[in-house]
Structures are given as structure tokens and as C-alpha cells.
Structure 1
């Protein structure tokens, strides 16, 4: 598969808190780093996203008396999973993994910094209305195909891929450069969603 100057690699949330030892570790999360570094060298356009929460964020279970992580609550924008506190602004956990090659990035998009709303997607917050600004960037740059990698496959990667596809881009998820949480069958649901929406699943080797 040939990568062109109209393609972009979107690297989702490869941060310390999502890797082994982190506050919300994705199993094997750090294993995506070598794969992403290899493939990023072939892209002219690379965008990184960074979860960037205030300590009193609405999605943090400790901010809700008596609520445990991974339970859900209802907010005005829908059902919200309650997470352990993670990727708090200015903390080591919020930093990119130390071995991630970030110098190739053209843009870093921070998300989840509004206290009252979570943000899985790189394009829109969880109300599906509040933009991060990335969509305008992609369109102004006249980019065509969005390749998605990172953490976690079944949450932030999934939402980002779906929103990019809905916005009219061709979308391919580099599955072996992702890892999932798999909460109540969420990985299977993610694969089904990708098939239904015409989002491709590609391998790292196909792009090298």
C-alpha cells in the first residue's frame, strides 16, 4: 500500500497512564510504540492526540461519591463510563511515552480538558458536537485518508476513526499498532462497527 502526501497518521493517546504501570493501563499498551515509530517515518503528515484532563474531571470515578471505576453514569450528553483518574494535566502520566518519536508530529491535539465532558474522539468531544479543531485542520490541509493507531482500540481509536469516516475521509485502522481495553465486549463491537462503516483494517507490514 502506497502512502501519499494526502495521507495522515493519527496517533491516539500514547501516554504513560495508558501503558504498563499507568493509572489506566491498556494491556500491552507500550507495545504499540515501536510499530508507530516505524510507520510514522513513512508519513509526511503525523498528528498526535493527548488526553489532558483537569483533576476534577467529570469522568473520574473518585469525583463521584460511592462510584467505582468502570461503572457508568448518565450525563446530559449520554452514558459516561467512570474511569480511574488519569492523564491529569501536567503530570508524568499525561506525558507521551518516553520512547514515542514525537519529533515527526505536525500537530498535537489535546482533548478532554473541559471539566464537564469527556472526549474520546480526536475530532469531537463526547457530545458529538463540540469540535477539537482537528477536522478543520484536516480539511484545510486537503488530506484524504486518515490512518489511525494508538490507544485504546475500542474507545479513543474507535471514536476517532468513526468520526473521521463520518466526516467523509477514507479511514484505515492499523490494528497491530493498537491495543484494546475490551470492556464488556467492546473490541468485538469495535470490529463490527468498522465493517458497517467501511473503515478498513490494515497491518503495519502492508504500509512498510
Structure 2
């Protein structure tokens, strides 16, 4: 029997209000994701979290960021703001993927778990055929994770009310890119 997975992308204080690279609405997304998982955990065979976990990501960090390919320092490995958001304390994820140690790491598929498995390996070992993607930021890491999920052959849905973009314009562009490759965009509630 095939399995549906939930991928919770980068719901970390570093991307929420008060963090180094905040997304407007980030704290609300964290609370909403926590409430959604608490109410709907039974829909998923596996829940995976991803985290930016930067050690030395090279040009990804800049003192003079362009906010396209370079960014202020954020998601620093082992820092408090790189941990999962406190709202997710009771999430009980099955697998944690950390990404971007030495590169930009936009996609959850760029990272690995504590024993070195890629997200693709984790999903295939769990017999996953479909994934729902939520988290931060819609215009960047959610988008790249969803695009890579489709390219890896998984039926992919982004739950649009459980994410937030860096800006409205970038959110529109991300949704267009995702829809163009077959990502389903739908709210978490009918």
C-alpha cells in the first residue's frame, strides 16, 4: 500500500518574525502547521521536517545580500533559531532532514537525515507515492522542495494556507512555477 507523507519545510525561528530572515506571517504558519498536524496526523504514513542548517554555505551568506542568491546570515547550525519553531514541540516527526550545510540548500531533497539518507531515500523506504508540502518560505524552500518532489516522481500538493512567501509577488511567481510542473495548490481545509 502506498503512503502519503507530510513534509514540513523550514518552520524555524530564523524565518519567523524576530528571526534573522523573517517571513511576514511565519509565526502564524508555525502555529497553523502544528494545529493541522495535531488534527490530521492520521492522514500521513510519515511526517518529515526539514531545517536550514548552515555551517559554511559560501556565497549564500553575504554582508551585502541581494535577497535573490545571497542572504543575511540565518539558519546557523546548532543555533537556537535553527531549531524547529517552538510551536512544533509536539509534532513528533518521523524523520528530520537538515540541509544547506555547505551550499544554499533550498530544497529538502538537498539534505539528509541523521544517518545520511536523502529525503528521496526516506520517502522511497516508506513506500511514499504522494506528498503534501507546508512551511516556509513558499517562494523559496517550499517551492524548491515541491519542484524536486515532482521531478522525483511523487504526486505533490502544497497546502497553500500553511505557507507564506517572502513577498506577495514572489509568492505569485512561485505558485505559477509549481503549477506549471503539476504541483497541486490547495488549502488544507475544503
TM-score (norm 2): 0.88
TM-fit CA distance, 1:159: 0.2
Partner residue of 2:74 out of 59, 72, 86? 86
Aligned positions of 1:53-202 closer than 5 A: 53-54=54-55, 57-62=58-63, 68-70=64-66, 81-114=69-102, 117-124=103-110, 133-182=118-167, 185-202=169-186
- Separation of aligned partners in 2, 1:132 and 1:119: 15
Quick check: 1:33 aligned with 2:36? Answer: no
User: What are the ranges of 5 or more consecutive residues in structure 1 without an aligned counterpart?
Assistant: 63-67, 73-80, 126-130
Alpha-carbon distance in 2 for matches of 1:10, 1:164: 10
C-alpha RMSD over aligned residues: 2.1
- Contact 1:111/1:132 (CA < 8 Å) preserved in 2? no
Q: 1:5-30 deviations in whole A, cap 9, x for unaligned? A: 71111000011110101000011111
Q: Unaligned 5+ residue runs, structure 2?
A: none
Whichever structure has more helix as a proportion of its residues is 2
User: Bigger radius of gyration, 1 or 2?
Assistant: 1
The secondary structure found in structure 2 opposite 1:150 is strand
TM-score (norm 1): 0.81
Runs of 4+ in 1 over 6 A off after TM superposition: none
In 2, the alpha carbon distance for the partners of 1:18 and 1:5 equals 33
Aligned residues: 182
Contact 1:124–1:132 (8 Å) recurs in 2: no
**Cα-to-partner distance string for 1:84-131 (whole Å, 9 max, x where unaligned):** 0001111111111111145420000000012xx211000137xxxxx9
